[in-house]
């Protein structure tokens, strides 16, 4: 009890969506809870886009589950987790992703939880992979095994400055499944922080399907597509 009191005094828990101090038992502050950018129910579960873009793409993954539009607090949280050493925000963010997952699918169907990998040099520089941290926390919540089953073979250009075609070309053949892993007929939950064009998730899905995976459900915290 004393330890928790001192911890709260010197290291108060902060809201992942705004950075303000919040109660220890909460996943976000009361102010942010009232204005989180939840996706509308009509968002496409097959591509994670609003409006749907399935007719313009040939995605290899089967579903995309996402709780928020990449806006307001969601954008803040992801940037803090990704660029400012707030990997512990993954614990709070996984709470919202778990809720959305259970609303959209039967999590009992999932065999393995994994994450979009970073190349080794980028992960070493940052010190962690934010998507991997998210996958670990989500796996705990749904009581599933979390494994790193995909590796990124080579360093690529940063995706944020590229258009859809450039993103697809940039990532082509840069992922592979680790040797010796039997994925035959498995259902994989593939985690990333945000979905933009779907290129990264799709390239990972291509190699997973080539290695026998039956179903790929992608899970991200935010989607950059929204109603215009």
Q: Residue 59: left (phi > 0), alpha (psi -120 to 50), or beta?
A: beta
3-state secondary structure of 27: coil
Q: Which two tokens stand for residue 72?
A: 């307001």
pLDDT at residue 227, rounded to an integer: 43
Instruction: State how far the Cα of 46 lies from the Cα of 62, in Å rounded to an integer.
Output: 6
Nearest to 91 by CA among 30, 156, 26: 26
Question: What integer pLDDT is reported at residue 52 of this predicted model?
Answer: 87
| Helix/strand/coil for 122 | helix
* Three-state DSSP class for residue 46: coil
Q: How does residue 145 score in pLDDT terms, banded at 50, 70 and 90?
A: very high
For the domain spanning 36-223, the CATH number is 3.40.50.2020
pLDDT value at residue 3: 45
User: Distance between CA 195 and CA 18 in Å, rounded?
Assistant: 21
Express each pLDDT in 26-66 by its tens digit: 999 999 999 999 999 889 999 888 888 888 778 999 999 99
d(CA 153, CA 84): 25
Q: Which of 9-18, 87-96, 100-109 has the weakest average pLDDT?
A: 9-18
The residue ranges of every structural domain in the chain are 36-223
User: Widest CA span of the chain, in angstroms?
Assistant: 58
Q: Cα separation of 191 and 220, whole Å? A: 6
| Distance, CA of 60 to CA of 211 (rounded, Å) | 13
Residue at token pair 């450039």: 166
- Determine whether 49 is exposed, middle or buried from the number of CB atoms within 10 Å of its CB (0-12, 13-18, 19+): buried
Tell me the per-residue pLDDT of 161-190, one tens digit each, with 9 for 90 and over: 666 777 777 778 889 999 999 999 999 999
CA distance 14 to 16: 6
pLDDT of residue 144 exceeding 70: yes
Q: Could you give the CA distance from residue 75 to residue 217 in angstroms, rounded to a whole number?
A: 22
pLDDT score of 79 more than 90: yes
């Amino acid at each position: 009890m004393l330890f928790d009191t001192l911890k709260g005094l010197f290291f108060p828990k902060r809201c992942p969506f705004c950075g303000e101090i919040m109660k220890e038992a909460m996943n976000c502050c009361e102010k942010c809870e009232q204005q989180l950018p939840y996706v509308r129910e009509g968002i496409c579960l097959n591509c994670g886009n609003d409006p749907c873009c399935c007719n313009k793409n040939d995605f290899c993954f089967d579903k995309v589950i996402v709780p928020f539009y990449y806006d307001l607090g969601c954008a803040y949280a992801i940037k803090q987790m990704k660029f400012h050493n707030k990997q512990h925000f993954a614990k709070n963010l996984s709470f919202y992703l778990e809720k959305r997952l259970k609303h959209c699918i039967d999590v009992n169907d999932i065999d393995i939880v994994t994450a979009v990998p970073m190349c080794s040099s980028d992960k070493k520089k940052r010190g962690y992979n934010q998507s991997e941290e998210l996958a670990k926390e989500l796996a705990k919540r749904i009581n599933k095994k979390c494994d790193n089953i995909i590796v990124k073979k080579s360093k690529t250009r940063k995706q944020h400055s590229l258009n859809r075609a450039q993103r697809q070309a940039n990532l082509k053949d840069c992922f592979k499944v680790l040797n010796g892993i039997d994925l035959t007929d498995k259902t994989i939950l593939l985690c990333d922080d945000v979905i933009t064009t779907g290129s990264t998730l799709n390239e990972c899905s291509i190699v997973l399907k080539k290695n026998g995976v039956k179903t790929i459900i992608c899970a991200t915290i935010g989607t950059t597509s929204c109603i215009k």
